[in-house]
Structure 1
Amino acid sequence: MTLKEIKDKLVNGDLWSFINPEANKDIHPSEVAEILDKLPADTALSSFIAFPDKKKVLLFPYVDHFLQHKIIKGVDKEQAAYILNHLSSTDRYSFFISLSPLDRSKYLEYLDDDHKKATQDTLGLPRQSIARLCNTDFATIKADMTIAQANEHLRKHHKDSDTANVIYVVDDKGKLIDDIPVRRLVLNEPTKHIKDIMDGVVIKLNIKDKTDEAISMFKQYDRNVLPVTNDDNLLIGVVTIDDIMDVTEQRNTRELQRFGGLESLEYPYVKTPIFSLIKKRGGWLIVLFLSEMLTATAMGYFQDEIATAVVLALFVPLVISSGGNSGSQAATLIIRAMAVKELGLKDWWYVMKRELFSGFCLGVILGTIGFLRIAAWQKLGWYDYGNNWQLMGIVIFFSLIGIIMWGTLSGSMIPMILKKFKLDPATSSAPFVATLVDVTGLVIYFSIAAVILQDTLLKHHH
């Protein structure tokens, strides 16, 4: 059955193909969730409600938060409690963290005592803490068991889950000794002891680690699941690669949105109400607009020069946008390099030297093009820059060098300064850097013009 056929059935309310287990052996819950997410909210909700309870629990973690909220609000209390209590600890936490504080306290009451306490404890942890991603559902065995005994123990005491791909060897106190992939249990003789197949290498996270550290550990060691211990080496839980990928995606989305000069969105773009979208974008636009007003102030300060040499005003957009663009480029490169840990604060001098040199070279390239553009228009008779057109070309040449160097310097240093003050570098969004460079760029441009043109174009004014 193709996804299109499924979608048609869903839209037409014909859900039998999902409810009938024979018909959907080959369909993963994530594929069904993808279809539900694209349907109108009410259709998606009624489709979800028609599933058997076990399927609901399987499907719930895969639908987006917007639909999750609608489902829990839309089903009766018993049903909502059943779903929330049967989720894995990380999926349950992911749902609760997405709620408003009011809804959070309301739905916490739906949980049984153990789940409620565990969820409240997790919600109380710092936002970046690895403990928030900890899945407490993991399988353990002892080193002195034979493989046959270990298999029997696992069959009796552990349910099938994505965390069961790796089995943990612990001592009597629950301290972590080693981790063993399930394949090693399968491929060795049943009479062998667990301690004979251990390799003694255990990669683990500490409960105090931040999610950033976990992300780099997963990358470095190429693992699908990592154990989490406390300072005493007690095994507390495990973190799976899919949870880490979710966090990475959320973080990247948030940073990209902030970088574009808007507050991050709670829901996907298509599900965000239009007025909420306007509010998220408006705040930054007002701040940037007020900042850009300084551009008008700067131009007002140089109005005599502009009145005397009107030709100067022609090049304002050209010169200014180059500075803003080079600043945005530098900010993008540095923020990304800091996010993937290529650069740290201690590298500021290295970054500054590189960006100043890059800015100088880029400025010379663009300045040369600017000079040639003036020369070409003058010679071809498309525009008359007057007798002193060479001086005008020189002003543009040096202004572009100065402004682009200033742009690359600002763009690269502002994220580092923000990081130094424990602020999110992503908020030094491209528009923010561009605005700063616009205002200062004007001052650089007119100052260079005043020096170079003072004996010619601007002479009458003096």
Structure 2
Amino acid sequence: MSYAMLANTLRSAMEKQDTVAIEELVCEFQPADLAEFLRHEETEVCLKILAHLALAERAEVFGYLPLTLQAEVAEEMTLEGLAQLLSSMESDERADLFNLMEEERQVAVLKLMAHEEREDLRRMASYAEGTVGAIMTSNYASVPERASVAEALDIVRKTAPDAETIYQIYVLDNIQRLVGTLSLRELILNRPSMPISSIMTTELLTTYPDEPQEDASRMISRYDLLALPVIDAQQRLVGIVTYDDAMDVAEQEATEDILKGGTVGNLEGSLREASLFTLYRKRIVWLVLLVFANIFSAAGIALYEETISTYIVLVFFLPLLVGSAGNAGSQASTLMVRGLATGDVLITDWARMFAREFLVALGLGLTMALAVSLIGAVRGGPEIAMVVASSMVAVVMLGSLVGMSLPFLLNKLGWDPATASAPLVATIADAVGVLVYFAIATAILGL
């Protein structure tokens, strides 16, 4: 049965208060689909639906819910029920939820948890938001360095239910230092008596808990890893970052960059659930700043009032030229922001990228000038055509070079290059385009 059919049937059963049907239907949902269904329900409904699931399934579904909804539902749960839920959740997910709880509730819940789980939760919750430690999990499969293949397989069988992934297995020495890794396939294919130390890989890719989480995500993507081990200063294994967590980070970072690219502040939670005031607050600051930035465009027009009054036909081409400058600048900015974000372009590449953009922008400007000069000749004659064509080359080149350089400048200043957004670049290009256009017109027309 499809998700839409299941959702409609479940709502019908809820309206009829058919407990048996509800219990059967919730078991048919995939965990992610049931979480999607609960996202649009009231907290009380979420609690009732989750109560129909076994503890392990409940924890899995709960992990797919948005953090804000998790916190709301957790607030309505009993301390005993919440403690059981936290114990069954993945270590990184329960740490995120734990950090959203009030301090009194945190203390009360910790008292009801087993010592080992309590200490793990405290440690995982201590890492700062945005770091590798905040997204890693302590549920991994590990074997001792001196074990044989048969012994390692036996250990993996016993620990598999609690591990987030068993396809990558970590080899530790007697003080928990990471000395190697091996895959489940290598364990299965080698002889039972073979020592682990003879088949493990010792060339390790690792990261540290206080590193930025986007760096870990980038490493997993670059090297096609199933998981990335996280070690402390003593080389002891403290957790792993799995590829699915890395995908979540990549999606989150891309969303933040897109929002910044539209001069919108980062939204916490869902756009669907954001309040009107939140949406207003996230957008108004940059809009007001850009309004005042456009004063420079108006000042440029006022400065060349005599040129405009003498050749009123110039006004016809003004939107076309400044729009082209803004569009070219936005394209260049988008390319550089993405290049810097993915590591494809480094801050030291500015001179090389500037030279390349100069040549590309020159080609773009000449092509667009050729097209617009024909309109200029029809509307105002040869002189106007020359003004418009020359201005088009100049404004496209200036817009492109400003759009390309601004992300590098912001990165150098320690700001997010994504702030070099399309509206910001377009506003700067507009002001520069107006001044350049009328300056060229004044020079060519002899005014």
Q: Normalization by structure 1: what TM-score?
A: 0.87
1:237 is paired with a residue whose SS is strand
User: 1:308-387 residue pairs with structure 2 within 5 A?
Assistant: 308-375=310-377, 377-378=378-379, 385=380
**Could you say what secondary structure the match of 1:162 adopts?**
coil
Asked whether the equivalents of residues 370 and 396 of structure 1 are also in contact (C-alpha less than 8 Å), the reply is yes
Given candidates 118, 135, 138, the residue that maps to 2:137 is: 135
Aligned partner of 2:6 in structure 1 is: 6
Contact 1:324-1:433 within 8 A present in 2 as well = yes
Q: How many pairs align?
A: 439
Indicate if the aligned counterparts of 2:325 and 2:398 stay in contact, CA closer than 8 A: yes
Shift of 1:352: 0.8
Equivalent residue runs for 1:38-49 within 5 Å: 38-39=40-41, 43-44=45-46, 46-49=48-51
Post-superposition Cα deviations, 1:191-210, rounded to whole Å, max 9, x if no partner, equal 33323432434332234433
Alignment CA distance shift 1:288-1:175 (3 Å): same
Distance 2:58 2:424 in 1: 45
- How far apart are the structure 1 equivalents of 2:148 and 2:308? 89
Match of 2:168 among 163, 166, 173: 166
Q: 1:147 and 2:139 equivalent?
A: no
> Can you list the C-alpha shifts for 1:339-378, whole angstroms capped at 9, x where unaligned?
1111111100011111111111111111111111123x44
Larger mean CA deviation between 403-412 and 9-18 belongs to: 9-18
The aligned residue for residue 382 of structure 1 is none
CA contact (8 A) 2:91 2:124 kept: no
Structure 2 unpaired stretches of 5+: none
Q: Mean alpha-carbon deviation: is it higher for 230-239 or for 410-419?
A: 230-239
Conservation of the 8 A alpha-carbon contact between 1:327 and 1:410: yes
Please point out which of 434, 452, 459 is paired with 2:444: 452
Could you tell me how far apart the structure 2 residues matched to 1:288 and 1:96 are? Answer: 40
The change in CA–CA distance for 1:281 and 1:94 in structure 2 (over 3 A counts) is same
Query: How many Å separate the matches in 1 of 2:213 and 2:336?
Result: 21
CA apart distance, 1:134: 2.1
- DSSP-derived class of the 1:192 partner: coil
Q: Per the alignment, in what secondary structure is the counterpart of residue 448 of structure 1?
A: helix
Match of 2:426 in 1: 434
Residues 60-93 of structure 1 show CA distances to partners (whole Å, capped at 9, x for unaligned) of: 1112234323322333343333323432221123
Gaps of 5+ in 1: 379-384
Deviates more, 1:244-253 or 1:264-273: 264-273
1:423 matched residue in structure 2? 415
TM-score computed with the length of structure 2 as normaliser: 0.90
Matches within 5 A, 1:44-443: 44=46, 46-96=48-98, 99=100, 103=101, 105=103, 107-112=105-110, 119=121, 121-122=123-124, 124-156=126-158, 159-375=161-377, 377-378=378-379, 385=380, 389-443=381-435
Structure 2 CA distance for partners of 1:15 and 1:229, relative to 1, 3 Å: farther
Aligned residue identity for 1:413: S
| Aligned-partner SS, 1:227 | strand
Local SS of the residue matching 1:236:
strand
AA at the equivalent of 1:108: Q
Q: Structure 1 437/204 Cα, relative in aligned 2: closer, same or farther at 3 Å?
A: same
Residues 147 and 81 from structure 1, CA distance in 2 versus in 1: closer, same or farther, beyond 3 angstroms?
Answer: same
Of all paired residues, the percent bearing the same amino acid is 28
- Which region of structure 1 is more displaced relative to structure 2, 131-140 or 74-83? 74-83
Deviates more, 1:51-60 or 1:122-131: 122-131
3-state SS of 1:204 partner: coil
How much is the aligned-residue C-alpha RMSD, in angstroms? 2.5
CA deviations 1:157-208 (Å, max 9, x no partner) are 5634323332221111111121122232233333333234324343322344
- CA 1:104–1:311 in 2, change beyond 3 Å: closer, same or farther? farther
Matches of 1:34 and 1:316 in 2, distance apart?
49
| Deviation (angstroms), 1:44 | 4.4
Whole-angstrom distance in 1 between the partners of 2:419 and 2:104: 33
CA distance in 1, matches of 2:281, 2:44: 26
Runs of 4+ in 1 over 6 A off after TM superposition: 23-26
Q: Closer, same or farther in 2 for the Cα pair 1:118/1:360, shift >3 Å?
A: same
In the TM superposition, what is the alpha-carbon distance from 1:17 to its structure 2 partner? Answer: 5.6
